[in-house]
Amino acid sequence: MSIDLGKIEVEDYKEWRYQFIGKFHNGLALVQNRRGLYGYIDETLEERIPCQYDYAADFSEWLALVNKDKKYYFIDVNGIVRIDNLKEYKAIRSFHDGRAVVANKDYAFGYIDRMGREAIPCIFYNARDFSEGLAVVDCRSFDRKSEELTRYINTEGVIQSLLTGDYQIGMSSQFINGIAPVIKTSKRLTLFGPQKTEAFINTAGKVFDKKEEVDKLRALYESGKDKTDKEIEINSLINYCARIYFLGQALEITATSEEMLAKKKRETFAEIKTAIENFSKGEIETKLSEKPSTLVKK
């Protein structure tokens, strides 16, 4: 990570404001300019891919879904189009485990690979992103009368029989940290409907349903969803610095003289430099993107 604290001049702030700055993925962060167009900045806060898209998603597995002139396609981190044969699909999502969810004109779901080929046919009523090599799909018929019939598939589209007995998986039963939540529904009624018992399974299909096991695994599952690792902390730091530089609500300079202007600039860079130094020492414990700035105009 490198941030050139002296590169952007104070006079450039008015030109370099974005109304939205996302988190960094694969070294780039999604931004939206004042005209409503999307592009990407790198970790030096330079605009790597110009704001030219009507819609854009975060990078995932080094590809990002964008829309320009009513046409969807995937670009790489250099802005080069890698997949553009997507006109037959009505819905498209980002890549996970080398597969991206798509829906055809009949809104049947399937998956494409990184070459844009339909790796798993569009035959499912619903489908979730892959996670840890498995994805949840709804195999019910399209008459809209049958009940949800959820199963796991692997990246080749083969259904995996991970559950036996009374436990069922749902569309939210995504694998994180090697486990996924499952539910057993009994005929016994409560004030909130049928009684439901929570459990977890691993990728081998083993069920963990004892209370102490469930409590421990729930914490592990939620920690995976929160993604509180070092990479996200770095994202937060860069995002915070970007907010100081770019957001319209931050750093509204109202200096009445060049001396005051220079002072404001020094204070701003000093605040960013201190944040970076503290981070390198492991002293930052909270998300810096949520840290209030003393430079925000009241």
11, pLDDT greater than 60: no
Give the span between the Cα atoms of 183 and 150, in whole angstroms.
12
pLDDT of residue 43: 76
For 14-43, write each residue's pLDDT tens digit.
445 678 888 888 889 898 988 899 999 887
CB-based contact 228:271 (threshold 8 Å)? no
The single-letter DSSP state of residue 242 is H
Instruction: Enumerate residues 6+ apart whose C-beta is below 8 A from 64.
Output: 28, 30, 40, 56, 57, 58, 74, 75, 94
Q: Strand pairing partners for 138?
A: 126, 150
For 262-279, write each residue's pLDDT tens digit.
566 566 656 655 655 665
Residue 259 identity (one-letter amino acid): E
- Strand ranges of the sheet holding 109-112, from the earlier edge strand across to the other edge: 91-96, 99-103, 109-112, 118-124
Q: Model pTM?
A: 0.72
Give the span between the Cα atoms of 54 and 128, in whole angstroms.
25
For residue 283, name the pLDDT band (cuts at 50, 70, 90). very low
Which one has a higher pLDDT value, 210 or 285?
Answer: 210
The single-letter DSSP state of residue 60 is B
For 221-261, write each residue's pLDDT tens digit.
988 876 544 444 455 555 555 555 544 333 344 444 555 55
CB-based contact 195:185 (threshold 8 Å)? yes
Q: Is 66 helix (H, G, I), strand (E, B) or coil?
A: strand
Average confidence (pLDDT) over 99-120: 95
Two tokens at 288?
């810096």
Mean residue pLDDT of the chain comes to 77
